[in-house]
Amino acid sequence: MDFTNQTVLVTGSSRGIGLAIAKAFDAAGANLILHARSEIKPEVLAEFQQTPQTLQFDISDAEAAEASIKALYKQEGFKGIDVLVNNAGITKDQLAMAMAPADFASVVNVNLNGTFNVTQPIFKKMIRQKHGAIINLSSVVGLMGNMGQVNYAASKAGIIGFTKSLAKEGARRGIRVNAIAPGMIVSDMTAVLPEETQTEILKNIPLSRFGEASEVADAALFLANSAYITGQTLTVDGGLYI
């Protein structure tokens, strides 16, 4: 796949799945815009063939997201974003009966509202440029539920409805919108799970292993490149949700 001359913004690309997706697009020739809440380390930027631009804002802050994206589009010579990958996300796990309402709200606010906050200003520009691909990171948990994750599962199920609706709105304007639902992927997010939980989860994965971030990246490039696919959710989960 060749993404030469295409500009790709990946939110939450300082590490983990987002960084793997950004690197895969970079290897395919794209111009990258990296983003995170914190400053992206120079050693991360040095791993790219073409030095990426960076954005830094909290996606749950709608005003900050809009201001940062507006400033990006005002840069001289900026030609627009061809592919947006909404990847940034968090977990704050707890059984529902013990979950603090603030932890329910903050996970939904970052994962779901944050996806909207970043997408809306870019979607408006994509409408004007009459093309674009948007890929949203959901999760198998949004499809199948998971104990201790009512907040996260609600946010990730919401992303699937968001994806389908935006796909219908964008189609006539040449914009495709799809989601990826990863299963258990090796990253900082899953490293915090106790070993016994990880062993228990493994029993339910037909391919008998956690996935690699690069395997989620493969799906992102596939969806960005597939001109006749929109409104879909692609599971990348080793068969966990079969």
Residues catalogued as catalytic: 152
- Residue of 1, 37, 99, 131 interacting with ligand NDP (CB under 6 A): 37
- Residue of 153, 167, 189, 220 interacting with ligand NDP (CB under 6 A): 189
Q: How far is the CB of 130 from ligand NDP (least distance, A)?
A: 28
Q: Which 98-137 residues touch ligand NDP, going by CB under 6 A? A: 110, 114, 137
Q: Binding of ligand NDP at residue 58 (CB under 6 A)?
A: yes
Q: Binding of ligand NDP at residue 63 (CB under 6 A)?
A: no
Query: Residue 24 phi/psi, 5° resolution?
Result: -65, -40
Whole-number Cα distances in Å, 81 to 4, 64, 234: 13, 18, 22
Token look-up 């990958």 returns 85
Specify the long-range contacts of residues 29-34, CB closer than 8 Å, at least 24 apart: 29/2, 29/3, 29/4, 29/5, 30/3, 30/4, 30/6, 30/82, 30/83, 31/5, 31/6, 31/7, 32/7, 32/8, 33/7, 33/8, 33/9, 33/72, 33/81, 34/10
Q: Binding of ligand NDP at residue 15 (CB under 6 A)?
A: yes
Q: Which 140-179 residues touch ligand NDP, going by CB under 6 A? A: none
Q: Binding of ligand NDP at residue 59 (CB under 6 A)?
A: yes
Q: Binding of ligand NDP at residue 16 (CB under 6 A)?
A: yes
- How many other CB atoms are there within 10 angstroms of residue 160's CB atom? 19
Q: Binding of ligand NDP at residue 90 (CB under 6 A)?
A: yes
CA distance 14 to 5: 22
Q: Does residue 146 come out as left (phi exceeding 0), alpha (psi in the -120 to 50 range) or beta?
A: beta
The token pair that represents 156 in the structure block:
């990730």
Q: Binding of ligand NDP at residue 89 (CB under 6 A)?
A: yes
Q: Binding of ligand NDP at residue 36 (CB under 6 A)?
A: yes
Q: Binding of ligand NDP at residue 184 (CB under 6 A)?
A: yes
Q: Binding of ligand NDP at residue 52 (CB under 6 A)?
A: no
Of the candidate spans 22-30, 82-90, 160-168, 218-226, the one that interacts with ligand NDP by CB under 6 A turns out to be: 82-90
- Of the pair 59, 177, the CB lying nearest ligand NDP is at 59
- The residues of the shown chain that bind ligand NDP, judged by CB under 6 A, are 12-18, 36-38, 58-60, 87-90, 110, 114, 137, 139, 182, 184-185, 187-190
